[in-house]
């Protein structure tokens, strides 16, 4: 019995700092599973431990009193973290109408609470929403359709443009709304077909996704993946990117053929595509969901391989371009491509002449969030990124938006970049798409020349 008592005390000593750490970081995306009931359970457990320690007289010794005080910390730290979170949220919700009009269109947010996202939408603090599996779990497709329609109704009532509504339906292992939507195979499954059959099937996949998403009220699909398939899975710690399973092929010509047909089917069904993840993560070893990562390949080699599908599809579509959180070391070794002016303004806008919508990958990913997220937000806006994505944990929106808000008030945002971005977003908004095509059927707004096709590699 004495041994068990000592063991329990040792465990309490070990658990106390862990409980305090969880409490002070209660709003961290890595602790998302502890929110709500988990937070309550931690507070209740801390109080119960304190009561037991006091009843057993541990307060009579210095060590015992220190242990009691340690277990008093989690409720206090959690309360302080909650207050800080609420104050930041209040500051964002108190932004002026002018600030909301200037900054709001540049943010796309995932959500769990409809009342909270509706308030952001009504105040113009966001330009888009992201719907995923937790928005459909335990609900009917009709309920989500009605919810999206209600958000758009609130925007109209507030005199604001329609929201961009995005989903992540790549096919294969990434189809966050399937079921109840149709589970479509990965585009990589088409590589063994003849080129004509590849295009026909990819077009069909795009039309299936497009029809179902448009019917739901989604107008932007975060697909297709244009990263080149790596030869082998080189990183055993890659649990989330899994690009080897998501990429279409290793041959850029095959990727361009299949992706172009898929995008065509998607667009003709009323949904825009998003090409990802520029500058390409097929060669990257580390998972940017959790770690910083570098792409060390020379630019000339990337231009002749990895970037060919991006340039090809951009040249004849109205697709958005998602920039990933990898550092393109040959161009900008000091920051990820998603907030690098040398990459966005220098290559995508300048060298390629692309004037469509550029968006970041999820800012809640570890490569950004575990570093200086405010720096990334400000630099992304100043680099000419049009839309910043906060997808996995929408609760982080207040922190991300407050970074932009503070920078705006301090005069650290590039006004010219914001104006140019506002024009691009207006041209590509759902309301403007009806007039986004010229009389001869060409998509407007993209002046990027098509890159030469790479020769097909041997089987």
**Quick check: is 372 catalytic?**
no
Strand partners, 448: none
Closest C-alpha to 188, from 179, 197, 198, 196: 198
Peptide bond into 109 cis (omega under 30): no
214 within 8 A of 190, measured Cβ to Cβ: no
Find the catalytic residue in 332, 361, 386, 393: 361
d(C-alpha 152, C-alpha 161), whole Å: 9
Question: How far is CA 79 from each of CA 46, 70, 74, 252, 397, rounded to the nearest angstrom?
Answer: 13, 15, 8, 53, 20
Q: Is 196 exposed, middle or buried (0-12, 13-18, 19+ CB in 10 A)?
A: exposed
Write b or e for each residue in 10-39: b if 16 or more Cβ atoms lie within 10 A of its Cβ, otherwise e. eebeebbeebbebbbebbbbebbebeeeeb
DSSP state for residue 441 in the 8-state scheme: S
Strand partners, 167: 221
**Quick check: is 361 catalytic?**
yes
Torsion of CA 74, 80, 83, 88, to 10 degrees: -110
Q: What is the DSSP string of 106-141?
A: GEEEE-S-HHHHHHHHHTT--SEEE--HHHHTTS-H
The residue ranges of DSSP E strands in 53-203, in sequence order, are 107-110, 128-130, 164-167, 169-171, 174-175
Find the catalytic residue in 106, 277, 289, 339: 289
Question: How far is CA 378 from each of CA 299, 332, 369, rounded to the nearest angstrom?
Answer: 26, 16, 14
Number of H helices, E strands in the chain: 17, 12
Q: Which residue numbers are catalytic?
A: 289, 361
């Amino acid at each position: 019995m004495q041994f068990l008592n000592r063991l329990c005390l040792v465990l309490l000593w070990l658990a106390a700092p862990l409980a305090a750490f969880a409490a002070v970081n209660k709003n961290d995306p890595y602790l998302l599973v502890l929110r709500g009931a988990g937070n309550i359970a931690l507070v209740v457990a801390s109080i119960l431990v304190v009561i037991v320690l006091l009843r057993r007289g541990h307060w009579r010794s210095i060590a015992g009193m220190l242990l009691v005080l340690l277990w008093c910390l989690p409720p206090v730290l959690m309360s302080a973290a909650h207050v800080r979170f609420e104050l930041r949220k209040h500051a964002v919700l108190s932004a002026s109408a002018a600030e909301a009009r200037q900054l709001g269109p540049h943010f796309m947010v995932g959500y769990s609470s409809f009342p909270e996202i509706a308030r952001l939408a009504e105040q113009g603090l966001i330009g888009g929403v992201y719907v995923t599996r937790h928005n459909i779990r335990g609900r009917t497709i009709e309920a989500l359709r009605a919810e999206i329609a209600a958000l758009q109704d609130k925007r109209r009532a507030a005199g604001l443009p329609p929201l961009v509504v995005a989903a992540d339906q790549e096919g294969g292992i990434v189809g966050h709304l399937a079921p109840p939507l149709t589970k479509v195979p990965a585009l990589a499954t088409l590589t063994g077909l003849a080129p004509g059959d590849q295009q026909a099937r990819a077009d069909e996949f795009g039309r299936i996704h497009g029809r179902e998403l448009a019917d739901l009220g989604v107008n932007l699909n975060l697909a297709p993946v244009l990263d080149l398939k790596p030869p082998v899975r080189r990183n055993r710690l890659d649990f989330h990117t899994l690009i080897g399973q998501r990429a279409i092929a290793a041959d850029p010509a095959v990727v361009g053929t299949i992706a172009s047909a898929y995008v065509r089917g998607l667009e003709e069904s009323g949904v825009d595509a998003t090409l990802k993840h520029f500058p390409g993560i097929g060669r990257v070893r580390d998972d940017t969901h959790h770690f910083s990562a570098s792409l060390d390949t020379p630019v000339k080699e990337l231009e002749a391989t990895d970037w060919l599908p991006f340039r090809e599809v951009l040249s004849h579509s109205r697709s958005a371009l998602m920039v990933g959180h990898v550092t393109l070391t040959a161009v900008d070794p000091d920051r990820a491509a998603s907030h690098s002016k040398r990459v966005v303004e220098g290559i995508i806008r300048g060298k390629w002449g692309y004037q469509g919508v550029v968006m970041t990958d999820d800012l809640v990913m570890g490569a950004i969030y575990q570093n200086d997220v405010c720096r990334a937000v400000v630099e992304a806006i100043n680099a000419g990124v049009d839309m910043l994505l906060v997808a996995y944990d929408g609760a982080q929106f207040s922190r991300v938006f407050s970074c932009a808000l503070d920078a705006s008030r301090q005069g650290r945002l590039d006004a010219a970049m914001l104006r140019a971005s506002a024009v691009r977003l207006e041209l590509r908004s759902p309301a403007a798409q009806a007039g986004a095509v010229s009389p001869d059927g060409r998509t407007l707004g993209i002046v990027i020349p098509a890159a030469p096709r790479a020769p097909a590699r041997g089987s």
